[in-house]
Each structure stands twice: as structure tokens, then as C-alpha cells.
Structure 1
Amino acid sequence: MTRRILTLISALAIVGLSAAPAAALDLVRKSAASSSSAPTAVPAVTAADRIMGRADAPVTVIEYASFTCNHCVDWTNEVLPQFKARYIDTGKVRLVFRDMPTAPAQIASTAAGIGRCAAPGRFFDVARAFMSGQAAAFEKGDARDWFAAAIAASGRTQEQIEACLKDPAVGQALQAEVEGAVAAGVTGTPSFFVNGKRVDDHSLQSLSAAIDPLIRAR
């Protein structure tokens, strides 16, 4: 496994990408281990967030996820299609995606950076490429095709992505997002908040149990 991870990381240089800051994962580990304070409220949704669904949807679901998290892939493949059909496509819910990089940190942070560097309206295309290709990339221990597919879905050239990843603002935004997640008590992925309240079980049944009363109360 260590050799595969090293091969994945070396692929960043092979495809010409500069690794985005990997300090995010260290921050998560250190903060989770040392913090004894009560969680704060999950950060409010802003114009910088990546959102699927209508802006005026009555319910907001925030997902903290990582492109190197296999449980996030499972949720994307097994739950999201039904969740989207039931809630997002019907205008009842807007889904907000936020980054929470997991191991290997350099790979996850760079993938998060590519998502942030995508052309307007193309983030979820990049996310789909990363999630659908994750298993094959880690099985082969080769991320070249994985990154290439995500860049192809981004609406940007590789040169544009490379230049964007070198912008300190990209790493700073990622760091700030992780800090907000840690402060809100997020320690693993995927993690979900429904109108600001954490839902520990991310099955469709549990999410529906949190969402449906809010819709009925409108």
C-alpha cells in the first residue's frame, strides 16, 4: 500500500501538477486530537460554496467529503442518485459540497484544488470524475488517468489548472474550509448537516428522517 501511495503522489509530477497544500489533513488530525471545546455551528453557506440544486430550496444539506474517501464514493454511487431524484430535482433541497481532505493528504488536497479551479458550473463534473475513477486509480496505484479525467471534465486546460493550483488563495480557501469543519466537530467523511444540524447516519433513510419534517413544516 505504501508503494502504491508513493506512486500516486509521484503521478502529480508526471502529469505536471503542483501539489496543493497538504496541511489540511494535519490540521484535522491535530485539532481533533487536541480540541476539548464544544463544536461550533457549521459555517453558513456563502457564494464561494459549490451547490447542487435551487438557491431558494427550503432545506440545505451540507456534505463534507474527500475525493480519496471510499465511503464518499459509496455514498455518491449508492445514495446520491436517489437523494437527487427525491429532493434536489424537486427543488426541496440544495446540496452543498465542502472539502475535507483525507489520506493520502497530498493526493486529496490536489484533487480538491482541481475542483476549486474548475470553470464555473463544472465543479460537480469534476467531482463525478474523481468519485467514479477513485477505485481504479487506487487499485492500479496510478493517478495519471484519474487526474487527466478530472481535468478534462473541468472546462479548463491543464496549463490553466496548473496555474490556478499555484495561486495561494486556493490553498487558503481549502484550509479555511477544513478549519470550519473541524470547529463544527467534523472528524470523518462523509459528514452531513441538515439545516445546520448534524446527521451521523448518512443513509437515505436517516437523511430523509431529518429532511422530511422540515419540508412538512413549511
Structure 2
Amino acid sequence: MIRLRDLMLAVAITVAPVAVSAQTAPVPPVTAADRVLGRADALVTVIEYASFTCSHCGEWHTGVLPAFKARFVDTGQVRLVFRDLPTQPVQVAAQAAGIARCAAPDRFFDVASTLMSGQAALFEGAPVADWFTAAIAVSGKSQAEIETCLEDPATLQNIRAGIAGAQAAGVDGTPSFFVNGRRVADTSLEGLSAAIQPLVAGR
């Protein structure tokens, strides 16, 4: 069994006070610690704050992301940045976030897809351990390697940094999207396209 108790407790303590200030800071810039899909030199950066136990996040990843990726990411116009904001049950979401972050860098979105698409079975009562095992299977790492990574303080620090950045930017729910730093309320393909298209028009 993955030994995640320390990660679970530490992240849960961090997430507990979810108070959103009326005055918010800009969304933090992209760093080497972020998990990114797409070209580094894309004109538009879309930052997503999501949780692996958020059903709306799962619906976005299974229902919207494929078309979004084909239209914007695969054409080099957009880079998509995934940041963790664990939601209830926080312990489970934090474990999933840790596993995804510990995957081989080029496998992060494979793990994310597996976790998001596996939500339905999880919510219907499938064992959480099976959900984690499926994610590890596509991580490009062994279970032992994942466990070692989860014990690295940097893993927790990166998850905490994402949470802190989300709270500072006024994120109050998942999924939340920022297009070149501007919050976009409509997370449908059409809504995101309306925010992106003016930024790439004529380029």
C-alpha cells in the first residue's frame, strides 16, 4: 500500500482554512515545478486549478480536454498548466496529486487522465487502492519509486505551493481557469475559445 499518511495530513492541514480574500493576487507565473502540456513558447498560457476528486474536473478532462487539446495545444497556440487544489475528500485527492506529481514528467497527463476517467468507478464504490494502482501503472515509475518520491519533502512543498497560489489568486472552486492570467468563468470549450481566440488572431 502506498505510504501517504504524512502527505495526506500535511496537505489536509494546508487546505483546511479555505478563506478567500476580497483582494486577490495575480495568478503565480509558470515555473519548472509546474506540469505543462504544450509548447513552452505558445502565445497563450491556460492555467487550470483542479482536483482529482472533483467530479466537474473529471467531466472537463474527459469531455472538453480532447477537443481543447486538438484545437489549441496540438496546434502550438496554447500551453495548458495543471495545478493541484485538492478537494474533499482531501486525503484521497492529496494522494492522487502526489502520485501524479511523482510520475515521469512526460507521463503526468497520462496519470491525470487515468485518475479523471477512473472517477466514475471510484464514486460508485470501487476501491481507492485500485484507482491509485491504475494511475501508477501509467506513471512510468515503479511503486517503489513513487513511494520514494512521495517521501521527498519537495513533493509536498510543490503541492502546497499550488494551493497557496490558488488561494492568493482567489480561486474558490474547481476547476478554475486563467487565460494569460485572467480568470475565465465559462470553462466550456466555447467559453475558453472566446477568451483565447482574440489572443491568437492574426498570429
Please state if 1:65 is matched with 2:50: yes
Return the TM-score normalized by structure 2: 0.94
Please state if 1:36 is matched with 2:21: yes
1:103-132 deviations in Å (ceiling 9; x for gaps): 111110011001111113110111011011
Q: How does 1:70-109 map to 2 (within 5 A)?
A: 70-109=55-94
The code of the aligned residue for 1:165 comes to L
**2:186 aligns to what?**
201
Distance 1:36 1:123, change over 3 A: closer
Please state if 1:121 is matched with 2:121: no
Preserved contact between residue 99 and residue 177 of structure 1 (Cα < 8 Å): yes
Matched residues, number: 202
Unaligned stretches of 5+ residues in structure 1 = 1-14
1:138-186 deviations in Å (ceiling 9; x for gaps): 2124112111110011111111111111112211111111001100011
**1:177 aligns to what?**
162
Unaligned stretches of 5+ residues in structure 2 = none
Preserved contact between residue 123 and residue 154 of structure 1 (Cα < 8 Å): yes
Quote the Cα distance in structure 2 between the aligned partners of 1:83 and 1:25: 32
**2:142 aligns to what?**
157
1:64-99 deviations in Å (ceiling 9; x for gaps): 001111000100111111111110111111100000
The code of the aligned residue for 2:130 comes to D
Please state if 1:21 is matched with 2:21: no
Q: Percent identity?
A: 61
Quote the Cα distance in structure 2 between the aligned partners of 1:175 and 1:21: 11
Aligned with residue 121 of structure 2, among 117, 132, 136 = 136
Preserved contact between residue 35 and residue 105 of structure 2 (Cα < 8 Å): no
Aligned-residue CA RMSD (Å): 1.5
**1:5 aligns to what?**
none
